[in-house]
A and B are shown apart, each in its own frame.
Chain A
Amino acid sequence: MLKKKGFKGILMLSMVVLLAFTAACGNSTNNGTKGSASNSPTNAATDDTVKLAGEIKIDGSSTVFPLTEAAAEEFNKLHKDVRVPVGVSGTGGGFKQFCKGEIAIADASRPIKDSEAADCKAAGIEYTDLSVAFDGLSVVVSKSNDFIDHLTVEELNKIFVTGSTVKTWKDVRDTFPAEPIVMFSPGADSGTYDYFNEAILDKAGIRNDKAISFSEDDNSLVQGVAGSKYGIGYFGFAYFEENQDKLKVVPVDAGKGAIEPTYETIKDGSYAPLSRPLFIYANNKELERPEVKEFVKYYINNIGQFADEVGYVALPDEQYAAEAAKIQ
């Protein structure tokens, strides 16, 4: 008898739990409709005292993530009932969801591509693009590298471009040692790859052979470059800043002298062409929801101070004012 109870008991228990969850499912959908219904009156009254609620789904670039995370965290302290989940599918992955209408805001480390814009248009999704901060894409070598003082854009192109025949540092510049170059690059789904490809390689694409390793994880790029004397790689400024003890940043010469990425050179645009703007794209229809509008406003008004904290460079104040004007 005991044995019978054992098996049937478990069977019953699991059935009950299953039922309970199905019931919970019904509840949550009810809550959802109730939530949106109670939102409509707040639409009319737009003063700040109105209690905001709802969910603002955000996904996209891992580079923009720290900024959005900071904004979401602080916004949450002011509006406890607004949920702001943030994902990191990469800029491309974010736009894919954005143009299907699955998320309200897309994080992007490059402007939207024509093909992505066409997808959005086909789905009837209109959007507002907002610049939120600058990032200085930093070209780095290992601390133990003692021969590089700067590289020109042409030399970078020669090293990384598709079909490049460069194998050793000597192939890049005659004064460099004849040691093989070990390259590290973010993967093709990241906006960082796209930006480098555009700014340095004229969209020719990054080489893909034995000499180069790709990784979506910036920390493994840091480890890779730091660990190989003849290595070179590139990633966001924040990752260089946190690893200054292991890495040496390479000043880049685009014809106006070699310029090192710093907060100043990135902000005033003299670190060209590798200082890049970061964006968020907001779905216009979602912007009609008061909580989304409030969040985006909050984002633009406060992101300058968060930017410094997470290793990015704030835009000039007047540009934030211009961005804020887009969402009235």
Chain B
Amino acid sequence: MNIFQDANRKQIANRRKMDWMLHILFVAATSVGVLALSALIIDILIDGVARLKPDLFTNFPSRRADGSGMKSALVGSIYMLLIMAPISFIFGVGAAIYLEEYAKKSRITRMIQLNISTLAGVPSIVYGILGLTLFVRLLSLDRSLIAGALTMTLLVLPIIIVSAQEAIRAVPKSRRDASFALGATKWQTVARSVMPSALPGVLTGVILAMSRAIGETAPLVMIGALTYVAFLPSGIKDSFTVIPIQVYNWLSKPQLEFKELAASGIIVLLALLLLMNFSAILLRNKYQKNV
């Protein structure tokens, strides 16, 4: 008896130790991310806060660091977002609804599914090259706001489709069955039963995809978003610039003062991202209450 108990105790102690070690490991894993992020934020705040003046938002970029602003970049980013959001919502959620609700599970839909998942992981510069050939050259939209927004739409579409599909799939089958049992058509079921409860998830996915897009530089450099833009685009065929490109431009200048400007540009970008993610949470909470 005694021998057994001792063995048990040892085993339990070992398991506890294991548990404790893994606990530490996971805490460490989490803190790496948190520490890196806070180091980045603190570093940037130290550099950039001094330049966070109204000038930054009301002035156009200038060769002199003093009085140089990011008005055109901020407005360019927001315009691009406004064009992208509806287009990518309609096409992304539409595709997700089709794939989840309408399409038969055949070899072809599986192929499409596989392609979409793959596209979600394609490096963004590839979309830039596609956008350059397709929108800028072939459709001769030139290096315009609309060409940029469409390229970015292509970039975020797979992400939106995948996340919307997941949200739709999470709706219990019983909801659809109940709707069909009452004699509803497919569209009625989708619009009144499935989508309302999938909407919080769908919207979160859309907004998170949007926040990826506003931080993205590579495809826009490729299609020719410009570096020095001292005007606001007045139509969708106008030239434009966005925040990350402005930040990159400031970083590549030899003068030290521009590094501070770049830091404050990053703060603005982070604030915008935070605002978007926050609104994603708000939206999700609002609609979850309704379901």
Contact = CB atoms under 8 A, between A and B. Distances in A.
Contacts of B287: 6
Given A4-B192, A7-B195, A242-B255, A83 B231 contact: yes
B172 interface: no
A21 B83 contact: yes
Nearest to B82: A17
Contacts of A8: 191
Interface stretch (B8-16, B35-43, B84-92, B264-272): B84-92
Nearest to B89: A14
A57 B239 contact: yes
Contact of A55 (B62, B85, B228, B239): B239
B132 to A, nearest CB: 11
Contacts of A59: 224, 226
A187 interface: no
B237 A311 contact: no
Contact of A15 (B63, B86, B142, B238): B86
Given A6-B287, A25-B235, A309-B63, A62 B229 contact: no
A85 B255 contact: no
A219 B191 contact: no
Nearest to A240: B254
B199 interface: yes
Given A15-B90, A65-B228, A217-B252, A25 B236 contact: yes
B228 A239 contact: no
Q: Which range contains the number of B residues in contact with the other chain? A: 35 or more
A40 interface: no
B253 interface: yes
A306 B195 CA distance: 59
B230 interface: yes
A85 B229 contact: yes
A243 B152 CA distance: 37
A98 B255 CA distance: 29
Given A88-B249, A219-B254, A310-B63, A6 B82 contact: no
A69 B60 CA distance: 12
B215 interface: no
A86 B192 contact: no
Nearest to B141: A25
Given A14-B90, A17-B86, A86-B227, A66 B234 contact: no
Interface in A267-323: 306, 309-311
A265 to B, nearest CB: 20
A179 interface: no
B197 interface: yes
Given A73-B63, A86-B226, A102 B142 contact: yes
B192 to A, nearest CB: 5
A6 B254 contact: no
B174 interface: no
B63 A6 contact: no
A65 B241 CA distance: 15
B138 interface: no
B146 interface: yes
B224 A7 contact: no
Interface stretch (A28-36, A145-153, A250-258): A28-36
Contacts of B89: 10, 14
A87 to B, nearest CB: 4
A7 B234 CA distance: 31
Nearest to A66: B63
B29 interface: no
A211 interface: no
A242 B258 CA distance: 12
A18 B290 contact: no
B163 to A, nearest CB: 16
B256 interface: yes
A24 B235 contact: yes
A209 to B, nearest CB: 25
Contacts of A83: 230-231, 239
Nearest to B193: A3
Nearest to A19: B86
A137 interface: no
Contact of B252 (A62, A243, A306): A62
Given A6-B199, A238-B254, A31 B234 contact: yes
A85 B226 contact: yes
A6 B290 contact: yes
A190 to B, nearest CB: 12
B66 to A, nearest CB: 13
Interface in A125-171: none
Contacts of A3: 192, 196-197, 290-291
A72 B228 CA distance: 9
B86 A241 contact: no
A84 interface: yes
A259 interface: no
B94 to A, nearest CB: 10
A32 B192 CA distance: 45
Interface in B173-231: 191-192, 195-197, 199, 203, 224-231
Interface of B: 61-63, 82-83, 85-87, 89-90, 142-143, 146, 191-192, 195-197, 199, 203, 224-231, 234-239, 241, 249, 251-256, 287, 290-291
24 contacts: A3-B196, A4-B192, A4-B196, A6-B196, A7-B195, A11-B90, A13-B86, A14-B90, A21-B86, A25-B146, A29-B237, A31-B234, A32-B237, A55-B239, A57-B239, A59-B224, A59-B226, A73-B63, A83-B231, A86-B226, A86-B228, A87-B226, A219-B253, A238-B254
Q: Give me the 3 closest cross-chain CB pairs, A-B, nearest first.
A: A28-B235, A3-B196, A14-B86
